[in-house]
Amino acid sequence: MLFPESKISVDTSKTLYGIIPKSEVQNVLQTRFLRGEPGKSYIGLRESIQLAFDRQLMINADVQPEECMVCAVLFSTLGWMHCTTKMMGTIPMLYKKMYKDGLDWGAWYFNAAMPIEIHDERTNDLLVSVTFHPLE
């Protein structure tokens, strides 16, 4: 494991996934923020690692697994509630993207730069934690 385990218990959490180039990991760790693709105001996340990588292949058919890192975004139960109910203008910070043709691609949009940790302001409990893992 390249990065420390999250302090959020797996049995009380929801995990969404993204894929980033390995070359971006150092920048994310230095700034402590995960950002969306250039020109996008959101971060696209998926419900499985495979769905996240499939999406990356749609964007760049030449991408190789060894060039990528998985971003696992773990939400505690309170973190999930915080992110899905906090409004960013007229839309929630985190919401499931449903397409007009009725297809569910398992896509979720996080509508801000995502801190690699989000803590409750009152209790300091960890609500959201981003960890990085090689794509295998």
Assess if residue 5 is contained within a domain.
Answer: no
The verdict on residue 28 lying in a domain is yes
Residue 3 in domain: no
Q: Which CA distances in Å does 91 have to 77, 105, 135?
A: 20, 19, 31
Predicted structure pTM score: 0.86
Q: Domain residues for 65?
A: 10-134
Q: Domain containing 77 — which CATH number?
A: 3.20.170
Q: Which residues make Cβ contacts (< 8 Å) with residue 97, sequence separation at least 6? A: 44, 105, 107, 108, 109
Q: Where residue 10 falls among pLDDT bands split at 50, 70, 90?
A: very low
The tens digit of pLDDT for each residue in 34-82 reads 998 888 889 999 999 999 999 999 988 999 999 999 999 999 999 999 9
Is 1 inside a domain boundary? no
In angstroms and rounded to an integer, the radius of gyration of the C-alpha atoms of the chain is 15
Domains: count for the chain? 1
